[in-house]
Amino acid sequence: MRFLHTADWHLGKKLHGFDLQAEQQAAYEQILKLALDEQVDAVVIAGDLYDRAIPNETAVKQLNSMLMDMNLTHQLPLLAISGNHDSAARLRTGSAWFKATNFYLNTKLSQAFTPIVMGDTQFYLLPYFEPFEARQYFEDDDLRTVQQAMVKIVAAMQATFDPDKKHVLVAHFFAAGSEHVDSETQVTVGGLNAIPVDLLAPFDYVALGHLHGKDALQAERVRYSGSPVKFSVSEATQTKGVWIVDTDPFKLTFKPLTPIRDVRVLTGSFEELTTPAFYQQQAQDDYLAVQLTDRRVIPNVMQALRAVYPHIIELERVNGPVLTNNPATKIDPNLDPMTLLAKFFEQTTDDDLTDQQQQWAQTALTAAMKEEG
């Protein structure tokens, strides 16, 4: 059995206001090509297909089209679960019909105990669940955490193990040892809900979703695939991709994906970053977290930088806050209003007020003073 392991597609997600639809589509096309080139027997999607419970219509169309493309057009068997970002009730629409074409989409805890048998493997598709669902399912009020629930869940799955088969768990939770980044919201930090990797030892492989970096967990047979696209600056240095998993003999191969626009941190002084000799060497179109080394006031800094780098997603002063109180920029507040305004204008724009501007300013100031008086 050979399958592709991906997760955390988060369709509908925006990156600091930028739509990622094209980026996610490009990643999908590569995933599909990999699945076909590698002749996998199935594609595993370990939760968070959507970014939110009520995705926008564009995201709905996009996911529907991807699933139809893989499963109906290319006859790829699909093994998927809902994640914490999905609405289980909404995502499950149509799933009763999907099985006929080997598309298994589990969104309820109760579905997790009937393994899907494909080739030499029993797949257990465990959707994201809350402890109360485990309490209901097992009729056990003592199950207060996901970890407690997982002890029972793994035992119940083991009871259905066919010893002649391999056993793969597909799940969406926070496994112990994982490393957090910014775009994984709603993860309980502190270990309360962390699943110890040891608990997952009965499985030949655990295909996880939830954390966005493939290296979040280094256990040999318990793996996050990570998201196919970078969703935050904290993921800037991660390599995105999917796992190709062979069950017999066991083999794990990471296949990287190439983004249209990378998410990167770009550090330098304003002058450096806006010098053609520098920026012409850059992929200017990338999503950039700009770290400015300057501390001086730079007029219209974001606008000026965006003229060169259109997809800036963050701007930070890495050497401390802008210096507005140094002698060069200090303005005596006791000056008369017109002089005060002229100095402020000069300081922020590096230009003097024109005669016309002076006239406007004077009119406005007179009006304001009349109102006050």
Stretch that binds a second copy, among 94-102, 198-206, 329-337, 339-347 (CB under 8 A): 94-102
Cβ at position 60, least distance to a second copy in Å: 5
Q: What is the dihedral of CA 209, 38, 256, 224, to 10 degrees?
A: 20
Distances (CA, A) of 53 to 60, 82, 126, 160: 11, 10, 18, 32
Task: Output 94 or 256, the one with its CB closest to a second copy.
Answer: 94
State yes or no: residue 90 binds a second copy (CB under 8 A).
yes
Convert residues 152-171 into a mask of x (bound to a second copy by CB under 8 A) and - (unbound).
Answer: --------------------
The full DSSP string for 298-316 is: -TTHHHHHHHH-TTEEEEE
Among 95, 329, 348, 362, binds a second copy (CB under 8 A): 95
Q: Which helix (H) or strand (E) holds 341?
A: helix 337-349
Q: What share of the chain is helix, strand, coil (3-state, %, to 5)?
A: 35, 20, 45
Phi, psi at 14, each rounded to 5°: -115, 150
Regarding 369 and contact with a second copy (CB under 8 A), the answer is no
Give the binding range for a second copy (CB under 8 A) out of 19-27, 89-97, 150-158, 337-345.
Answer: 89-97
Q: Which is nearer to a second copy, 70 or 216 (CB)?
A: 70
**Is residue 328 a contact residue for a second copy (CB under 8 A)?**
no
The span from the CA of 7 to the CA of 245, in Å, is: 14
- The residue with tokens 């802008």 is 322
Size of the site for a second copy (CB under 8 A): 20
- Amino acid identity for residue 118 in this structure: M
Distance set, CA 72 to CA 30, 46, 100, 244 (Å): 18, 20, 11, 21
CB of 273: closest distance to a second copy in angstroms?
Answer: 42
Q: How many CA atoms lie within 13 A of 49 on its CB side?
A: 26
**Options 22, 36, 72, 117; binder of a second copy; rule CB under 8 A:** 72
By CB atoms closer than 10 A (0-12, 13-18, 19+), residue 38 is middle
Q: If binding is defined by CB under 8 A, does position 92 make contact with a second copy? A: yes
In eight-state DSSP terms, residue 99 is G
- Between 48 and 286, CB nearer to a second copy: 48
The least CB distance from residue 200 to a second copy, in Å, is 31
96 binding a second copy? (CB under 8 A)? yes
The residue within the footprint of a second copy, chosen from 16, 93, 250, 330 (CB under 8 A), is: 93
Q: Which of 25, 87, 145, 362 binds a second copy (CB under 8 A)?
A: 87
Residue found by looking up tokens 């006239």 in the block: 359
In the structure encoding, which two tokens stand for residue 122, read together? 């029993």
Work out which of 14, 61, 144, 251 binds a second copy, going by CB under 8 A: 61
Q: How far apart are CB 32 and a second copy at their closest, in Å?
A: 17
Which residue ranges make up the site for a second copy (CB under 8 A)?
54, 57, 60-61, 64, 68, 72, 87, 89-90, 92-98, 100-101, 103
